[in-house]
C-alpha cells in the first residue's frame, strides 16, 4: 500500500483505494489495469507542531446536511464491486446502502462514477436520506482520462433535476502521492472541475484529498485549490502507532491539516485499520486491533472522518503487509 514511515511523528501514507478504471457494465471486470500501481517510496515527512446556463438552484431543503463534527461516525466509503471485481447489481447496492444508513452514518463516499454509481448509489442514498460525497477518480492514465467523469456528474445532476444531497465533490484520491499528477496539474484540474460543476448548478465544496505529508509539502499549491482541506489519514501506515493510539493519531493529524491549510474546514476522507495481514512496526493488523482502532477514531475524530471501508475489498491485490483487502469495518457499527 505504501512505504512505512520512519518517524513516530510522520504523517500516514497510503495508496489509492478505489478501482482504477471507469466501468459501465456489470459484465466488465476491473482487472484490466492493476488495482495497485507501483508504489513510490516516500521519504519521512516530519509533522509540524501539534490535515450551458446554470441549472435551477435547489430549494434550501434540498441542500445536504452538514456533518455533525461531534458525532461518532460521519461517513463511510463505498465501492460497488463484487469480490471478483465486477459491478454489483443495483439491488445489492441498494441493500448495502440501506445497511450503511441503518448503522447511523449521514454520508457515503464514492471514489468515481463507474459501475453506474451515480444512478444506483445515489438513488439508494436519497431514499435513505444519506448525503453523497462524489468522486472524480484520477488513475495512472492521468487527468485527461478523468475528464469524462466531470461530464458524467454534470449530466447526472441535469437529468436528476438537482444536486440534492451532494455534500462535496472530491477530485482525485492521492493522485499526487501516486504520481498520477503533479501538485500543479491537480490544482488546475480541481479548478477546471469546479467551474464545470458550478456551471451545472452546483454550489457546494469541491476539494482534493492526499495524505497529510503531501498536502504539507505542496500546501502553497494544493490548499488554495480546495474549498475545504481534506486528507486520507491512516494510523497503521505510520508504523509507530498502535491500534489503541489510532484515535489520537487521527485527531492530531486533523490539527496538523488545519495548520497546513489555515482558515479551511478540515475533513478526514479515509481512515480505519486492517483486520488481517502482517505487522508494520508496532501497528498490528487483526480483528481485535481493528475494533480498538475504529472505536478510538470514532471517539476522537469520528464526526469528521470517513471510515474505510464498508466491506473487505477482495478484488484487490493483497499489497504490502498483505492488508490491502482487509479494511472492511461496517460490521463494527452494528
Q: What is each CA distance from 141 to 21, 147, 229, in whole angstroms?
A: 9, 11, 25
Nearest to 290 by CA among 306, 277, 305: 277
What is the Cα–Cα distance from 99 to 53, expressed in whole angstroms? 38
CA angle 179, 39, 146 (to 5 degrees): 40
- Identify whether the C-beta of residue 22 lies closer than 8 Å to the C-beta of residue 128: no
Q: Is 167 a catalytic residue?
A: no
Pairing type for strands 75-77 and 166-173 reads unpaired
- Identify whether the C-beta of residue 260 lies closer than 8 Å to the C-beta of residue 219: yes
Catalytic residue (one of 15, 167, 270, 324): 270
Phi, psi dihedral angles at 287 (to 5 degrees): -65, -45
Nearest to 297 by CA among 226, 245, 224, 219: 245
Catalytic residue (one of 15, 21, 174, 289): 174
Phi, psi dihedral angles at 230 (to 5 degrees): -135, 145
User: What is the signed CA dihedral for 38, 250, 143, 29, rounded to 10 degrees?
Assistant: 60
Q: Is 174 a catalytic residue?
A: yes
* Active site members: 174, 270
Amino acid at each position: 500500500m505504501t512505504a512505512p514511515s520512519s518517524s513516530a511523528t510522520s504523517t500516514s501514507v497510503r495508496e489509492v483505494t478505489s478501482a482504477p478504471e471507469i466501468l459501465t457494465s456489470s459484465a466488465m471486470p476491473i482487472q484490466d489495469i492493476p488495482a495497485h500501481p507501483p508504489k513510490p517510496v516516500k521519504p519521512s515527512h516530519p509533522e509540524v507542531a501539534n490535515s450551458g446556463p446554470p441549472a435551477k438552484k435547489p430549494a434550501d431543503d434540498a441542500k445536504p446536511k452538514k456533518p455533525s463534527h461531534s458525532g461518532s461516525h460521519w461517513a463511510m466509503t463505498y465501492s460497488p464491486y463484487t469480490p471478483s471485481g465486477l459491478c454489483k447489481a443495483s439491488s445489492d447496492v441498494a441493500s448495502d446502502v440501506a445497511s450503511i444508513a441503518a448503522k447511523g452514518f449521514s454520508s457515503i463516499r464514492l471514489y468515481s462514477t463507474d459501475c453506474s454509481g451515480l444512478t444506483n448509489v445515489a438513488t439508494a442514498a436519497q431514499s435513505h436520506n444519506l448525503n453523497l460525497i462524489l468522486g472524480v477518480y484520477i488513475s495512472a492514465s492521468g487527468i485527461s482520462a478523468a475528464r469524462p467523469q466531470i461530464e458524467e456528474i454534470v449530466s447526472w445532476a441535469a437529468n436528476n433535476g438537482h444536486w440534492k444531497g451532494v455534500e462535496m465533490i472530491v477530485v482525485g484520491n492521492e493522485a499526487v502521492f501516486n504520481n498520477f499528477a503533479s501538485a500543479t496539474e491537480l490544482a488546475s484540474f480541481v479548478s477546471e472541475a469546479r467551474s464545470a460543476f458550478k456551471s451545472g448548478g452546483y454550489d457546494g465544496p469541491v476539494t482534493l484529498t492526499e495524505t497529510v505529508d503531501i498536502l504539507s509539502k505542496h500546501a502553497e499549491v494544493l490548499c488554495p485549490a480546495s474549498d475545504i482541506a481534506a486528507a486520507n489519514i491512516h494510523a497503521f501506515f505510520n508504523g509507530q502507532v498502535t491500534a489503541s493510539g489510532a484515535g489520537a493519531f487521527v485527531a492530531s493529524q486533523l490539527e496538523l491539516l488545519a495548520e497546513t491549510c489555515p482558515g479551511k474546514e478540515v475533513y478526514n476522507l479515509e481512515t480505519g485499520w486492517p483486520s488481517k495481514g502482517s505487522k508494520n512496526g508496532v501497528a498490528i493488523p487483526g480483528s481485535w486491533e481493528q475494533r480498538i482502532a475504529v472505536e478510538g477514531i470514532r471517539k476522537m475524530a469520528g464526526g469528521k472522518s470517513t471510515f474505510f471501508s464498508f466491506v473487505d475489498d477482495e478484488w484487490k491485490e493483497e499489497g504490502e503487509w498483505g492488508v490491502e483487502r482487509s479494511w472492511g469495518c461496517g460490521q463494527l457499527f452494528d
